[in-house]
């Protein structure tokens, strides 16, 4: 059973998400929070698999709450606009991806299942554009010493993950089996101590391995 925590200051929004998610097989909403501080408290209490986190909330906002979440809790940021100025910082802070609030119900349900399974919401091109835009504004990229832990092939795979490519796309681009690509990605995540693919994308930009607009 996938356990979900809802964090949004609008009661009607929470009610809508709860009704949708509780109706799905294998998903249950275990708690609701009207602000970031309560979201952190409830996450520590219930240890849900996934938190649906609104960015703008009174008191502690979603960005701050994301940084304070337990390590084993995965977070999907909810935003009203596709290019929300806080989303990149949320990804840097540990979020596994983001969704706009007018996402189709089927996409929301799939997102919860994907993130609960340990993947990241990085497929949509708008996500890659957003990460590129805000990574370029965050700070001047500097070569990270920890990249020295990677083999040449792992650096190639890492760069492709940073560009938003899936394991299948990486496999096709580097002429390897999808299972081999998945193994390389897992090793890169372990060596760089990244929680998931979203964190790898952030590290790729911040380390200077790839730059916004890189293909």
Tell me the C-alpha to C-alpha distance, in Å, between residue 172 and each of 50, 72, 163, 183, 197. 31, 32, 15, 15, 18
Output the six-digit token pair for 27: 């998903």
Convert the pLDDT of each residue in 152-210 to its tens digit.
Answer: 999 999 988 887 788 888 999 999 999 999 999 999 989 988 877 878 877 887 777 76
Q: Structurally, how many domains does the chain consist of?
A: 2
> How many residues in total does the chain contain?
215
Output the six-digit token pair for 145: 């010493």
Residue 55 sits in which domain range? 2-121
Convert the pLDDT of each residue in 135-146 to its tens digit.
Answer: 566 555 555 567
pLDDT higher than 60, residue 124: no
Sign of CA dihedral 91, 75, 123, 162: positive
The answer to whether position 131 is within a domain reads no
The answer to whether position 91 is within a domain reads yes
Residue (of 97, 54, 90, 96) closest to 73 by Cα position: 96
For residue 78, what is the domain's CATH number? 3.40.50.2300
For residue 202, what is the domain's CATH number? 1.10.10.10
């Amino acid at each position: 059973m996938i356990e979900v925590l809802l964090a949004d200051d609008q009661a009607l929004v929470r009610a809508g998400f709860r009704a949708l998610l509780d109706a799905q097989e294998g998903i249950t909403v275990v708690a609701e929070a009207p602000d970031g501080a309560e979201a952190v408290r409830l996450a520590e209490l219930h240890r849900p698999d996934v938190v649906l986190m609104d960015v703008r909330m009174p008191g502690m906002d979603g960005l701050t709450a994301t940084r304070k979440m337990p390590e084993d809790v995965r977070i999907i940021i909810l935003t009203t606009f596709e290019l929300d100025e806080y989303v990149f910082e949320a990804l840097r802070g540990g979020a596994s991806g983001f969704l706009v609030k007018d996402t189709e119900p089927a996409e929301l349900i799939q997102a919860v299942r994907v993130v609960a399974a340990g993947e990241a919401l990085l497929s949509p091109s708008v996500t890659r554009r957003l990460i590129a835009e805000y990574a370029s504004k965050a700070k001047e990229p500097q070569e990270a010493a920890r990249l020295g832990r990677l083999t040449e092939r792992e650096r190639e795979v890492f760069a492709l993950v940073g560009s938003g490519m899936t394991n299948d796309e990486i496999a096709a681009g580097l002429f390897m089996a999808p299972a081999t690509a998945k193994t390389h990605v897992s090793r890169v995540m372990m060596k760089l101590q990244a929680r998931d693919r979203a964190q790898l994308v952030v590290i790729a930009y911040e380390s200077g391995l790839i730059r916004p607009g890189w293909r």
